[in-house]
Structure formats: C-alpha cells, structure tokens
Amino acid sequence: MSATLNIAVSAARAAGSLIIRSLNQLDALQVTTKSRNEFVTEVDRQAEVEIIRVIRKAYPDHAFLAEESGEHGTGESLWIIDPLDGTTNFLHGFPQFAVSIALQISGRLECGVVYDPMRQELFTAERGGGAQLDGRRIRVSKRTSLEEALIGTGFPYRANLDWAETYLAMLRDVMQNTAGLRRPGAAALDLAYVAAGRLDGFWEFGLAPWDIAAGTLMIREAGGRISDFEGGDGFMQSGHVVGGNPKVYAQLSRLLAPHYARGRQAASAQRATDPAPGNTAQK
C-alpha cells in the first residue's frame, strides 16, 4: 500500500468511527436542508473536517474538493472527498452509507478509498495496482448477458429533475431486460460493488465528482468500464455515469444511449422555446 493510500485509509477510518458514534444520537442531530431531497448534518461536516485534518497533516500543500466545504487550496494534487455518501440513509438508520476519498494528480486518479463503517468493509484502489476489498484482490463479475445481470441505479434529484422522464424510460427498459435492479442510495458504494462483482452494472444522472471519483478508479482497476452515456470521459463534469463489467457495460450502454439522445434533443428543444431572460411577459 502506497503512502498516499495509507493516509486515505486512515482518514476514511477516522471519519467512519465518528459516523458510527453518532448513530445513537440521530434524533439530536442538527440537520440542514440544502435543497429538496438533499440534507447535510453536523456529522457530515465533522467527518469532513476529520478527513482533511488527517490528510493535511501528511500533505499540507495538497488541495481539496469536498462536498461540504467546496474547493480549497491549489496545486496538482487534489483530494476529492465525500465524508458521508448516503446522508438520507444515515438519517433514517438505513445501513447503506460510506466515506469516499480519492486522490487526483494532474487530472489523473491515483488512489481511492470507499469505506463502509457499518460493515467495516474497506474498498481500495491504486492506479496500476488493482482494486481490493479488505486486502483481497477484487474483479468485476464475469456475467456476459444483460438478461442475467443485477444492475444498480440512483434516482435523479434536484437540478437533474429535467432528466426524470428520460430516466423513467431507461428504468422501464432496464427492468425488462435484466435479472433485477437495486437502488440502495449511496453511489460510492454502488460503484465499489460493481468493482467487487456484487453488481454487474450501474447508471445514474447528475452525480458529483466526490460521489464517483474513488469508485471510478476501483471499477477500472477491477477490469471494468465506466463512461458517460456517449462513451466518453465527461462524466466527472456532467455526473451522468454508466459502468459495469465490460460485456454488461457494452450492452447496458447500448440500451440507454437512445433514451439519452432523445432526452438531450428534448432538452435542447425546450431551451430553444423558453423566453429569453428579461423578455418574460409581465402579469
């Protein structure tokens, strides 16, 4: 394990311990609503502070992109952090949430950690070094048929509600062409599960970089594929993601692509007919 991955693991475990200690105090937690279906607790903030503290002690000159505090610092080495992915699950005592930490150097993902503090499962990956679960090498599943595949997903919320109809069409098609669908509610864990072969594929709209950075590296190092809906690498910017083992990824991508293309066309048409700012009729 490299020095940077070792620090990421230490930071993730420290945050995980803090999260677990808070489980018995859910009713007393301060909760802020950032937007509809999006919450932040004092635990999110404290876990993020703890992660940054551990990393900064080892790497004081590194920069950070974190869900709660945003981007701070400059330089080629950037830590991408989600201190508690699955906050809504956590608030309800639903045991599906995780800490996600990735290091990106000069725009390239170098190491990643997804830590499930409830199960004490530690998923790790290093560029060129493979992916592991609790120190054991993991690989994506070997299923070759979409009809046999178990697929993970997440519902579009907030600004991504424009994609709701497109997503529902995708959902209907995937339901009819796979063995099953799961929506546990923590994208970082979903991606780690793809890397570990527990899920054969995954797709979602509008994720943030901290949701997907660590899981992206894990899937790639475990022999899988991940991209946007057009097969490109723009998903870290758009948050529109499809991934899986190579054969399921290819079939799932082909199934979703026509829906995505129609959704983009509809969105473009809608923007073209919307009144320009300042030209809205007054009532």
Taking only the tens place, the pLDDT of each residue in 89-127 is 998 889 999 999 999 999 999 999 999 999 999 999 999
Instruction: Domain 3-138: state its class.
Output: alpha beta
146-272 and 3-138 share a CATH fold: no
Q: In whole numbers, what is the pLDDT of the chain averaged over residues?
A: 90
Q: Which two tokens stand for residue 258?
A: 């026509």
**pTM for this model (two decimals):** 0.90
Residue range 146-272, CATH number: 3.40.190.80
- Give pLDDT tens digits for 200-250: 999 999 999 999 999 999 999 999 999 999 999 999 999 999 999 999 999
The answer on pLDDT for 276 being more than 70 is no
Measured CA to CA, the distance from residue 216 to residue 265 in angstroms comes to 28
- Average of pLDDT values for 84-93? 92
With tokens 């725009």, the residue in question is 107
Where do the domains of the chain lie? Answer: 3-138, 146-272
Output the 3-class SS for the chain: CCHHHHHHHHHHHHHHHHHHHCHHHHHHCCEEEEECCEEEEHHHHHHHHHHHHHHHHHCCCCEEEECCCEEECCCCEEEEEEEEECHHHHHCCCCCCEEEEEEEECCEEEEEEEEECCCCEEEEEECCCEEEECCEEECCCCCCCHHHCEEEECCCCHHHHHHHHHHHHHHHHHHHHCCEEECCCCHHHHHHHHHCCCCCEEEECCCCHHHHHHHHHHHHHCCCEEECCCCCCCHHHHCCEEEECHHHHHHHHHHHHHHHHHHHHHHHHHHHHCCCCCCCCCC
User: Quick one: pLDDT at residue 16?
Assistant: 97
Measured CA to CA, the distance from residue 51 to residue 31 in angstroms comes to 20
